[in-house]
Amino acid sequence: MAKEDKAILACEVCLCRNYTTHRSKKNNGKRLELRKYCPHCGKVTLHKETK
């Protein structure tokens, strides 16, 4: 997996980096935002792509 294809997702509440996922090449202009479960917070929160 190339470095450009990988996206690291961080929780917006506790700022923990929880997930690594593949990024689509057609959405390069925007950062990825997903609602995922955060084990540190214990609930579903918004996760945004970080560098």
pLDDT of 4 reads 65
Query: Going by C-beta distance under 8 Å and a sequence separation of 6 or more, which residues neighbour residue 3?
Result: none
The pLDDT tens digits of the residues spanning 1-51 come to 565 678 899 999 999 999 998 877 665 678 889 999 999 999 999 999 997
- pTM summary value: 0.78
One-character DSSP codes across 8-45: EEEETTT--EEEEEE--GGGTTS--EEEEEETTTTEEE
The reported pLDDT for the residue numbered 40 is 94
Q: What is the structure's pLDDT at 2?
A: 60
